[in-house]
Structures are given as C-alpha cells and as structure tokens.
Structure 1
Amino acid sequence: MTRPFIMVAPNGARRGKEANASLPITLPEMITTAASCQLAGADALHLHVRDAQGRHTIDVGLYREATSELALKVPELEVQITTEAAGIFDVPAQYQCLRDLQPKWASVSIREMARDLSLAPKVYDLCAENNTKIQHILYNTDDIALLLEWQKQSIVKATQDSVLFVLGRYTQGQVSSPDDLTPFRQALPNIKHWMVCAFGPDEHRCLAHAAHQGGAVRVGFENSLVAPDGTPHADNAASITALINTIEKGYSA
C-alpha cells in the first residue's frame, strides 16, 4: 500500500525527561528531533513549545522562534502548532495565540472551544480570515456531534474539514486498541481529511489499522513511549521507523 501521511508528535504538553531522555524539551532538541524524524519518514510535526522551566505554553514569541528555526533547518517538514489548554489556558488565551501568531496550521480541540460559546465562533472566523488550516481534535463521538452541529450552524466553515481521532485518551490507563476507531468512522463515514493518534502500547497497531483504511497517522512520544511488548522506543525517529515497518507488513485489525 501507499505509505500514509505521517505526522510526528514528539513531546506533548505533559511529559518530561523522566519519561524518556530523548523527549525534546528545548528548541535545539526539537530541531534535532525534527530532522531525525523527517529522515525516518515524517511529513509533518505537531509542535508543542515549552517555557524556560520546561512547562507547556502557547507563547507567541516562543512559537515564532520555533517555527522560524524549523522552517530554516527542516523546510520539507510541515509544522502544526497546538492550542492545547492542558488545564492552563482559557479560550481567550487560545484566541490570542491564533490571532497574534497567524500560523499556517493549528490543532484545535472542539470541546475546549465549547468552554466559551461566545468566543468560539470568532476562533473559526479568525482562522478562516488568516488562512490558518484547522485540525479538529476529537476525543469521542460527543465531540463529533458537536462538530456536526457547529458545521450546521456555520460556526465551523465548510473548508475547516480536517479532523484528528484520538484513541484511548480517556480510557483506563490510557490504552487504545484498533477497534476504538470504529465508532469514529461510523459517526463520520464520509470525512475526507482524517488522521488518527492512539495512546498506549498498541499505538502502532491502531495507526496501521487506520492507514489501511486510508487515514493519515500521528505518532510519537506525546501518545506512546513503548512498543507493543513494552520495550521503550529509543527516540521518536525509532518509533516512526517501527510504525512504517508495521504498516508495510500489511497489518489490519
């Protein structure tokens, strides 16, 4: 089969060096990781930046510095910034980040936007005006129902049609299985632009299952640090290599 579009999510908002020594925290580490992941087969990078204390942030200045360096050092790699709240940022802060940064591509959790129903429509209007491509983060079918309702109300624009199905985020122990994809696909059977990420040791099997259905995939230390047998991946690039091998073996659940 044709290799799917692969995005790497190398760190996330919460994990640190205690999880894996190669998890990137600083900008130089992120640049090194991005380069190795691109060589391993990644097409895009899901970008989280950290402050001087290593904490998750959506600081515009840090994003500008990181995206500029990535464009210079790894120009072939598409970059998507996150607006993840992580229990820290409210919708006004997320709106301000998108307004001031005007990124080419951003991930937006629809359930986070629903925390401020007066401001949420302005977020989607802003992204449409600035040609910021949105990927809607969907954790379950309730999120899909909200997306469909907002599309019906034209809060979400017709062109804002890209989604990420997140498997296993709110399960016991944050583990997922390939079968977890079924309700998402049933709820959005005609979606064209869809991607999957999956938590836990079955990450690669879940992503291979999605790839064999025509989906794009997101892999990396934000979601899983280990192989199915519990062996830690050496780094994000090693995880990508292992995923590609799994896909090419023809795995399908």
Structure 2
Amino acid sequence: MSETEMTQTPLIITVAPNGARKTQADHPALPISPEELAREAKACAAAGAAMIHLHVRKEDKTHTLDPARYREAMSAIRDACGDDILIQVTTEAVGLYEAPEQMAVIRELAPQSASLAIREIVPEGGEEQARAFLHEIVDGGTLPHYILYSADDLKRYLLLRDQGVIPDRNEFLLFVLGRYTAGQVSHPGDLIPFLGELTQDIPWSVCAFGPLEHAAASAAVALGGHVRVGFENNMLLKSGETAGNNAELVQQIRDVAEAVGRPVASAAEARKILTV
C-alpha cells in the first residue's frame, strides 16, 4: 500500500470505555452497566467511533467473561445504536482466565469482533489449539483484533501467521504503546519498534497510556494506522484536563483526522476494511 493509500484509508476509531479494573471511583462517568455502556456507545458513535471494545463486570464491578453479561450489554448497545457501531468482545484474562475459557466465550457468543492477546490466546505449546480456534472464528465471521505488547510479540505474530496458526485474512493488529515503561506512560516514539518489524501489509492500530495518548494516537493517524482511545487507558484530554466522557476523546481524534484530510470510517466501512 502506498503512502497516499495509507493516509486516505478511512480511519477506524475504536473506543475502550471502561476496561477491566477502573470504576466510577476513578471517573464518575465511567460506564459499567448495560444501560451506561449503551449510552456511551451511542455518544461515541456520533463522535466518530466505528467500534466499541467491550468489557463487562460482575455485581461487585470486577472483571468477568460471563457470556450472559456480555449478551445483556450487547443487546443494550444494539438497541441504542443499531448498526452504527461494531461490538468487540474482550477476552482479557486479568489473571483469572486461561486460553480454553477465553476461547469458549467467543465460540458461544460469535461476536462481530473479538480482541485477542497473542500472549494469552497462543501460549507457548498451545499453537495447535489456537490454530483450530482462530480459523474457526474467522470462518464464522468474527473479526479478530490481535493485541501485541512489544515488537517481540509482533515478530511472534508474523511467525505464527507464516506457520498458518493465525489466518492471513481479516487481520487487525493493536500495538499497545508503553505497556512496560515506567509508570505505564506512552510516547509516540514507542510506535517505531513495531513499524520496524511490520513487514506485511496488515491493518494496524494503537492504544496508549497517560498524558501523551493523544500525541501517540495522532502519530498513528498521520502514518496510516488506526486508533483505540478511551477511559480504559487514559482519561485526559490533550489539554491535560480530565475528559468529561469517552466521546470527547473520540472527538479529539476525529479532529486530527479532519486536520490531515483523512476520512473517518463508519462501522460498515470498518468491516469492509478489515475483511479480506
């Protein structure tokens, strides 16, 4: 893909509105209940988000992969948004789940998209189990979003892809910037090692932590990547003030796209970009 094609590809903005650990003690507008998630999804879709990265919680607000709770939240979001936003289910382990349990929830839900950390879903020695699972869900229409925490993760991803463990279609990468830096603070330069290893034409996105999230996301926009923003990783606007809600973080990125002349993808356009 040429530089012009990269920067003209519609920008897919994913919103991660809550994460696995934060609560309304961290921000009063952090959405947790299905109704709160539906309202936030609608506001973020209006601001430019094509996809929502969905976490659900137990009654005590701790992390869960319970399919019943996912269904409740997914139903509320669909009622509020219709087809205006893609729903991505997380499989994040948070130290509570192993690969077979993570795979089981995706098999049961057959969601539009699923985020899958390569370190978790393809542990060393688990390649054949992962091969069967990944080909099954891609064949079934679920769009995988592969989470990579380092350039070494990306190297392993590309090796697994060459080996046929990971299907070479319907791919979407998420480069997590600054996950292992001091204070978990990201910098736009954290993107460089990933791009140095990316030898294939695969759609990629970034998420970042801390006060330079917007700068890191803006770099991705300018370089032809896609972006995930939201309270899961950062609650600050580029001004340093706390965002009132997730939609404000989405709008900031939409403003960057408009400033560089890059269109923003709808949910339908995002699916088209990610389906090969």
- Which TM-score band applies after superposition, normalised by the shorter structure? over 0.9
Q: Match of 2:240, as an amino acid?
A: G
1:70-109 pair list within 5 angstroms: 70-75=77-82, 76-109=84-117
Q: Is the 8 A contact 2:11 2:226 kept in 1?
A: yes
Q: Match of 2:70, as an amino acid?
A: Y
Q: Matches of 2:238 and 2:143 in 1, distance apart?
A: 33
1:16-165 pair list within 5 angstroms: 16-75=23-82, 76-115=84-123, 117-118=125-126, 119-165=129-175
Q: Is the 8 A contact 2:86 2:112 kept in 1?
A: no
Query: How far does the alpha carbon of each residue in 1:14-47 deviate from its partner, in whole angstroms, 9 at most, with x for none?
Result: 1111211101111111011111111112111111
1:195-210 pair list within 5 angstroms: 195-210=205-220
- Secondary structure of 1:92's partner? helix
Structure 1-normalised TM-score? 0.93
Q: How far is the alpha carbon of 1:161 from its aligned partner?
A: 2.3
Establish whether residue 191 from structure 1 lines up as the match of residue 201 from structure 2: yes
- Secondary structure of 2:164's partner? coil
- Secondary structure of 2:251's partner? helix
Q: Match of 1:7, as an amino acid?
A: T
Q: CA RMSD in A?
A: 1.8
Q: Matches of 1:249 and 1:189 in 2, distance apart?
A: 28
Q: Match of 1:50, as an amino acid?
A: R
Q: Is the 8 A contact 1:47 1:82 kept in 2?
A: yes
Q: Is the 8 A contact 1:37 1:240 kept in 2?
A: yes
Of 168, 175, 183, the residue aligned with 2:185 is 175
Deviating above 6 A after TM superposition, structure 1's stretches of 4 or more consecutive aligned residues are: none
- Secondary structure of 1:99's partner? helix
Establish whether residue 231 from structure 1 lines up as the match of residue 231 from structure 2: no
Q: How far is the alpha carbon of 1:104 from its aligned partner?
A: 1.8
Establish whether residue 15 from structure 1 lines up as the match of residue 27 from structure 2: no
Q: Is the 8 A contact 1:168 1:200 kept in 2?
A: no
Gap change, CA 1:144 and 1:57, over 3 Å in 2: same
- Secondary structure of 1:37's partner? helix
Structure 1's unaligned 5+ residue stretches are none
Q: How many residues align?
A: 251
Structure with bigger RCO (C-alpha 8 Å, 6+ apart): 2
Structure 2-normalised TM-score? 0.85
